[in-house]
Amino acid sequence: MQPERALGAAVARAARRPGAWQRPPLEGLTPLRAWFAREVGLTPAQVLITAGGQAALATALHALTPPGSPVLVESPTYPGALSVARAAGLRPMPVPLDHDGVRLDLLEDAFAATGARVFYCQPLFHNPTGTALAPERRQRLVEIAHAAGAFVIEDDYARRLGHGLPLPPPLVADDPYGTVVHISSLTKPTSPNLRVGALIARGPVFERLRSHQVVDTFFVPRPLQEATLDLVGTPAWHRHLRGLTAALRDRRDAMVSALYSHRLDVRSPAGGYYLWLRLPDGTDESTFVTACLRAGVAVSPGRPYFAAEAAEPHVRLSYADISGPDEITEGIGRLADALGQA
């Protein structure tokens, strides 16, 4: 599902562009910053171009909280965020989710109990659960963080992975305080090699982010920025996103249907490329994952997604890196057989 032809053409054009091999501004090319800014309703002066979402997250954590500090995270959450936090000497502290996103009562309690000054979250198509933060919780989340004197790192990596329904604006778009630090990335809808993303923030925190960005990565190579700008400005980009939306929706439906046919219940997300499967009580997660591998099926064990001990066994199932619905049906059949043996 990667736009390989469009990417190849964009890279070729960018490499021949006059000045393409000169050093770019440290904050990023102004037209590319303007493109990211338009998506969230801010200005180019509030955008930093980064080497993908992971680099943006590392810069944000380094800039916002000193080593040894607690950082609040959703539970479960993206394992890469836990790794970055721990590598920075931070202590991830879990805040549970429900079907509408993070529990705001528990978030408020966690700020008070830990003194944390950062909350990392994925309000849209949360990894691994696929949950979207409920509309009535969005502004309240920002208010709680602001009252605690804290920042919200909003990881919006999946905005272009929706399945066709209208999407809410990012939290940063409605943030009156400069509390939200927004991360955007083009890697997931394009290619792992297109390491281009953005850090977006209002107010004084922007200069702090910029200072750390210069130290962490200096700048994103100009040819890559030029190629990205070329890609998102072509009709091929919009065709790709339409095709991606339809493909992800079809694959999601095929996987949910296959799981139901084996009496495995799972929530159907409105975006993303994975399902979060709760395993039956008594299932040994590690044994099950090993049995799946022996059956030729790769799944992600649930344990690494938790900052603390997981209460229940889970696996994450991806429907992105497969050939289509037939392979999904076959894979879920093998998974069900493996579950019977675990």
Q: Are residues 214 and 249 in the same domain?
A: no
- Residue that the structure tokens 């603390």 belong to: 308
Does 208 share its domain with 156? yes
> How many Cα atoms within 13 Å fall on the side-chain side of residue 199?
33
Number of domains into which the chain is organized: 2
Q: DSSP 3-state assignment of 63?
A: helix
Which CATH number is 305's domain given?
A: 3.90.1150.10
Domain-ending residue, one of 232, 250, 283: 232
Calculate Rg over the CA atoms of the chain: 20
Q: What is the domain range of residue 244? A: 236-341
Q: How far is Cα 119 from Cα 99, in angstroms, rounded to an integer?
A: 19
CA nearest to 226, candidates 52, 23, 39 = 23
Of the three residues 232, 252, 282, the one that is the final residue of a domain is 232
123 and 10 within one domain: yes
Same domain? For 262 and 194 the reply is: no
3-class SS of residue 170? coil
Burial environment of residue 26 by CB neighbours within 10 A (0 to 12, 13 to 18, 19 or more): middle
Q: In angstroms, how far is the first alpha carbon of the chain from the final one?
A: 33
Q: Are residues 246 and 189 in the same domain?
A: no
Q: What is the pLDDT along the chain (342 residues), one digit of tens a residue?
A: 899 999 999 999 999 989 889 999 999 999 999 999 999 999 999 999 999 999 999 999 999 999 999 999 999 999 999 999 999 999 999 999 999 999 999 999 999 999 999 999 999 999 999 999 999 999 999 999 999 999 999 999 999 999 999 999 999 999 999 999 999 999 999 999 999 999 999 999 999 999 998 888 889 999 999 999 999 999 999 999 999 999 999 999 999 999 999 999 999 999 999 999 999 999 999 999 999 999 999 999 999 999 998 779 999 999 998 888 999 999 999 999 999 886
| Sheet bearing 300-301, strands edge to edge | 274-278, 314-318, 300-301
